[in-house]
Structure 1
Amino acid sequence: MAVNRAEQRAATRRALLAEGRRRFAADGYHHVVLADVARAAGVTKGAAYHHFDSKAGLFRAVVSEVQHELGERVAAEAERHEDLWEQLRAGCRAFLAAGTDPAVRRILLVDAPTVLGWDEWRTLDEESSARHLAEALDALVAAGTLADQPVEPLARLLSGAMNEAALWIARGGDPRAAEQALDRLLAGLRAPT
Structure 2
Amino acid sequence: MQQESGRRSNRDRTEATRADLIAAARKLFTEKSYAETGTPEIVAAAGVTRGALYHHFADKQALFGAVVEQEAAAVAREIEKASPPALNARDALIAGSDAYLTAMRAPGRTRLLLLDGPAVLGRAGMDAIDNRHGNRSLREGLVAAMRSGSMKKLPPEALTMLLASAFDRAALAIEAGGSSEDYRAVLMALFDGLSRA
Counterpart in the other structure of 1:140 = 145
Residue 3 of structure 1 deviates from its aligned partner by: 2.6
SS in 2 for 1:29: coil
Counterpart in the other structure of 2:132 = 127
Q: Does 1:157 align with 2:186?
A: no
TM-score calculated relative to the size of structure 1: 0.94
TM-score calculated relative to the size of structure 2: 0.93
Counterpart in the other structure of 2:177 = 172
- For residues 47-66 of structure 1, the aligned pairs below 5 Å read 47-66=52-71
Assess if the C-alpha contact under 8 Å between 1:19 and 1:40 holds in 2.
yes
Aligned residue type for 1:176: E
When residues 80 and 150 of structure 1 are mapped into structure 2, their CA distance, relative to the original with a 3 A threshold, is closer
Map Cα deviations across residues 34-67 of structure 1 (whole Å, 9 max, x no partner).
1111111111111111111211111010011111
Distance 2:148 2:15 in 1: 45
Moved over 4 A (4+): none
- Alignment partner of 1:31 out of 27, 30, 36: 36
Distance 1:120 1:10 in 2: 24
Q: Does 1:94 align with 2:114?
A: no
SS in 2 for 1:125: helix
Distance 2:86 2:174 in 1: 25
> What are the ranges of 5 or more consecutive residues in structure 2 without an aligned counterpart?
1-5
> What are the ranges of 5 or more consecutive residues in structure 1 without an aligned counterpart?
none
Residue 80 of structure 1 deviates from its aligned partner by: 7.8
Q: Percent identity?
A: 33
SS in 1 for 2:194: coil
When residues 81 and 180 of structure 1 are mapped into structure 2, their CA distance, relative to the original with a 3 A threshold, is farther
- Alignment partner of 2:79 out of 70, 74, 78: 74
Counterpart in the other structure of 2:195 = 190
How many residue pairs match? The answer is: 192
